[in-house]
């Protein structure tokens, strides 16, 4: 982590992830595109996700979450920052001349060689079927169905642990403590996602949140009764309701929101601890 001299009150506690190991050049142009910014509005122009809008311009990097070009080694050319995700990404050049972006694992360096195969060497960044990965290894970017690309364990510092194989499934322990089954033919990459210090970042000032596209959040207790269940009262009052609620009166904090009929529930062996 990088800290600053306390030249202003906001600088005193501000911290930033150290980006010194990343490339200083811009992204690979043919692997980028501009995404339309919705600022939290739907197709009718109504706000469906609050506190979003503004922020710096950014280009979306087309990351290859599948990495299903088997038995073709690739060399890491650069490690780069991605404004759309908490982890770092790596630009790799395959032996056949094709370039692509991948999620960079922790400790991956420029010049390293990686490969996707049904059974590859157990080194960081290599991708293979989960049934061929030994017990105790850390994995990331895991598929939920063969061939559809990685869906789980993609944020900074995340990893899952291989617990063992049962029939056509492999048991994984997720970073939340949940244990779930994944089909043995699904692909996963060995290692831990890069940038594990992401959670230690201290924003420091309001302006930095605005640069990130985050608008201010107003507390319910300072609103009027017509605007929020916590609103009204004289001076500093409590929330005035029995259970914590959101702006629409729905119960939050402790209420289970997962759909009881969700089809993937049968793959969960053990729920995460409260």
pLDDT at 258: 87
pLDDT at 64: 94
Domain ranges in the chain with CATH number 2.40.50.140:
18-198
Strands 187-190 and 268-270: what pairing?
unpaired
pLDDT at 256: 83
pLDDT at 257: 84
pLDDT at 240: 87
pLDDT at 104: 95
- ∠ CA 206-241-216, nearest 5°, is 10
Domain ranges in the chain with CATH number 4.10.950.10:
218-268
* CATH of span 18-198: 2.40.50.140
Give the residues of the chain that fall short of pLDDT 70. none
Options 1.10.10.10, 3.30.2350.10, 4.10.950.10, 3.40.50.300; CATH of 218-268: 4.10.950.10
In whole angstroms, give the CA distance from residue 84 to residue 104: 14
User: CB neighbours of 258 closer than 8 A, spacing ≥ 6?
Assistant: 265
pLDDT at 274: 73
The strand pairing partners of 94, in sequence order, are: 74
Q: Kindly report the number of other CB atoms within 10 A of residue 157's CB atom.
A: 18
* The two structure tokens encoding residue 234: 């004289």
């Amino acid at each position: 982590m990088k800290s600053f001299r306390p030249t202003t009150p906001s600088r005193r506690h501000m911290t930033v992830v150290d980006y010194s190991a990343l490339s200083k050049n811009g992204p690979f142009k043919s692997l980028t595109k501009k995404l339309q910014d919705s600022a939290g509005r739907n197709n009718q122009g109504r706000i469906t996700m609050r506190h979003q809008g503004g922020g710096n311009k950014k280009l979306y990097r087309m990351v290859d979450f599948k990495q299903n070009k088997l038995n073709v080694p690739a060399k890491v050319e650069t490690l780069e920052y991605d404004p759309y995700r908490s982890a770092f990404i790596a630009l790799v050049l395959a032996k056949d001349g094709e370039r692509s972006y991948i999620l960079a694992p922790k400790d991956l360096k420029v010049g390293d060689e990686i490969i996707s195969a049904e059974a590859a060497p157990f080194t960081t960044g290599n991708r293979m079927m989960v049934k061929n990965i030994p017990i105790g290894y850390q994995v990331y970017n895991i598929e939920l169905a063969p061939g559809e690309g990685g869906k789980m364990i993609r944020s900074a510092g995340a990893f899952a642990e291989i617990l063992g194989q049962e029939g056509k499934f492999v048991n994984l322990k997720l970073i939340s403590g949940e244990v779930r089954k994944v089909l043995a033919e699904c692909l996963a990459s060995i290692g831990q996602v890069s940038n594990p210090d992401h959670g230690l970042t201290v924003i420091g000032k309001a302006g930095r949140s605005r640069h990130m596209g985050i608008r201010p959040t107003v507390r319910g207790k300072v609103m009027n009764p017509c605007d929020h269940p916590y609103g009204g009262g004289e001076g500093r009052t409590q929330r005035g309701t029995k259970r914590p609620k959101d702006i629409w009166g729905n119960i939050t904090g402790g209420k289970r929101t997962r759909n009881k009929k969700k089809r993937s529930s049968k793959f969960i062996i053990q729920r995460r601890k409260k």
